[in-house]
Amino acid sequence: MKLILIMVLSSTLYELKEVNVPTGQTCADVYNSAVIYKENPLPYPKTGTMWTGYYNGKNVGGYICEAI
């Protein structure tokens, strides 16, 4: 199984980052341990979001779990 993180680089540019899921863990387990949530530095009304997820310093927009 592998976890595919959807990295948001800009409003029109995305990057897919593959992360292997160890045996005995789920995609959600790996996602929750790898992605760090921080309070959004921009005010809520401007961005529509209060918290932002980061993986290796890049914004995470979501994830896909893929069975191998």
pLDDT tens across 46-57, in order? 656 667 788 998
User: Which tokens belong to 39?
Assistant: 């309070």
CA distance 60 to 7: 5
Please say if the pLDDT value at position 44 is more than 70. no
Q: What confidence score (pLDDT) does residue 45 get?
A: 66
Name the residue with higher pLDDT: 40 or 61: 61
Q: What confidence score (pLDDT) does residue 48 get?
A: 62
Name the residue with higher pLDDT: 52 or 60: 60
Q: Cβ–Cβ contacts within 10 Å for residue 30, how many?
A: 20
Domains of the chain: which residue ranges? 2-66
Q: If pLDDT is split at 50, 70 and 90, which confidence band does 16 have?
A: very high
